[in-house]
Structure 1
């Protein structure tokens, strides 16, 4: 997956925002001000940090050489995925979906209710 498609997929998540809180080298994607993805967009190949279920991180890392412990992140909860072609677009999208769902699950009830009433929710 190329940067344009990756950004489009991430930004297509309900109420997703794109920010640069760590400088221009990292694109950060958030939902309700909580990060669910970080792209090292100037790297070749691209790298993306994604939240992961701690019960699955060891298996994911064992199955794919391109999935490593989260770079500069809590390694129990984050993976760094190198987009070197090992993962299919569908597999990468699944990891992104999991990351987004894990973050949304930790939102407050009020924040989740705001997502349901978000204008973008009615266009999906």
Structure 2
């Protein structure tokens, strides 16, 4: 599951893999800004931190037990998704897309345009 989410995230235009905190977690960035942080715990399910609009973040947390406030992140703007099988891959992909889009929107116009080419 972790590898699937990493592969999907890296298909995003300009996405790169980084290990700023050691071998685990893996950070997925665009233009140097993180949009996904993927933790793998051998005893527990894989977890994925994703940036999210605060209103959507609250709604997702209310609807899904697997979506919690961001672990070690700004809890208003980040969610942690536990990949326990309760959410479909497609649901998680939509959340990854949203996180990527949120980061892209915050980039300078020249960087956004270079990614759009």
In the superposition, the TM-score normalised over structure 1's length comes to 0.90
Residue matched to 1:62: 62
Residue matched to 1:27: 26
Q: Please state if 1:73 is matched with 2:108.
A: no
Residue matched to 1:5: 4
Question: Residue 82 of structure 1 aligns to a residue in which SS?
Answer: strand
Residue matched to 1:122: none
Residue matched to 1:121: none
Runs of 4+ in structure 1 off by over 6 angstroms are none
How many angstroms apart in 2 are the aligned matches of 1:57 and 1:19?
25
Q: What is the Cα-based RMSD across aligned positions, in Å? A: 1.0
Unaligned runs of 5+ in 2: none
What do residues 49-104 of structure 1 show as CA deviations (whole Å, max 9, x unaligned)? 00001111111101000000000100000000000011011100000000000000
Residue matched to 2:108: 108
Question: Residue 55 of structure 1 aligns to a residue in which SS?
Answer: helix
Between stretches 38-47 and 75-84, larger displacement belongs to: 38-47
Q: Please state if 1:16 is matched with 2:6.
A: no
Aligned residues: 116
In the superposition, the TM-score normalised over structure 2's length comes to 0.95
